[in-house]
Amino acid sequence: MAVRTIEVRERVMARNDALAGGVRARLRDAGVVALNLVSSPGSGKTALLERTLGALGGELEMAVITGDVQTQNDADRLARHTDRLVQAVVTGGACHLDALQIETALEAIDLARTRLLFIENVGNLVCPASWDLGEAAKVVVFSVTEGEDKPLKYPKMFREASYAVLNKIDLLPHLDFDVAAALANARSVNPALRFFQTSARTGEGLAGWFAFLRAQAGAGAPA
């Protein structure tokens, strides 16, 4: 049989990364800083954003894109804390958001009225690590009800992230969670990670998170 081999050598993620590059350029030109929030399910991403929208909504212009496999429950929750449209992307089974979905969602967002864009990714510590969405940075959220070794079990996600939020710290008195060990594990995977320790329920530690967001919003503003 005549068998012909065609050399391809094309990265599988090349198309997504090209789209993400376009999203990143568009956001940069508009002076919008996009933060991609990634985590396992139930770590408190939505609660953290509820607190954030409630506290900073009158001060910073913020928009949100939520990603869920099914339902727009998170978008509905967040919409109660902002008068801005919360864009819900229902992936219909896919375990992550991709750059095309973000490009499409941006069509409904008034970027001229936005300084900070939160992308609440699908709750999953594996797949979203591989998809560039055009964000300025990934923020990995994990909580004290998870194991201290989460960073070691999911190193790609913690390597890809620039910031880590350790959430639900109000529960520490009731748990055996070792904060120092968790932070050490995360640093062993990514020494450059910057940490926040928060409780989205009580508000503990949120001042540092809010200060960070104010700085981000200022840094992204067009000259």
Q: Which residues are near other proteins by CB under 8 A?
A: 1-13, 15-16, 94-96, 98, 124, 126-127, 129-131, 156
Minimum CB distance to other proteins smaller for 62 or for 129: 129
Reference 49, options 77, 14, 19; nearest CA is 77
Only one residue has tokens 């050598």, namely 9
The C-alpha torsion from 18 through 72 and 28 to 94, rounded to 10°, is: -20
What is the nearest approach in angstroms of other proteins to the Cβ of residue 128?
9
Distances (CA, A) of 116 to 5, 62, 81, 112: 48, 5, 15, 11
Q: Are 188 and 152 in contact (CB under 8 A)?
A: yes
Structure tokens at 182: 């968790």
Q: Could you tell me how far CA 155 lies from the centroid of its own chain?
A: 16
CB of 159 to other proteins, least distance (A): 9
**CB of 153 vs other proteins, minimal distance in Å:** 13
Rounded Cα–Cα distance for residues 29 and 6 (Å): 40
| Residue whose tokens read 């050490």 | 184
| Nearer CB in complex with other proteins: 51/96 | 96
Q: Which of 58, 78, 55 is nearest to 66 (CA)?
A: 78
- Which C-beta is closer to other proteins: that of 126 or that of 171? 126
Q: How far is the CB of 212 from other proteins (least distance, A)?
A: 27
* Closer residue to other proteins (CB): 4 or 174: 4
Q: Is 79 or 90 the residue whose CB approaches other proteins more closely?
A: 90
- Pure H helices in 65-137: 73-79, 99-106
The least CB distance from residue 186 to other proteins, in Å, is 17
Least distance (Å) between residue 66 CB and other proteins: 19
For other proteins, which is the closer residue by CB, 94 or 193?
94
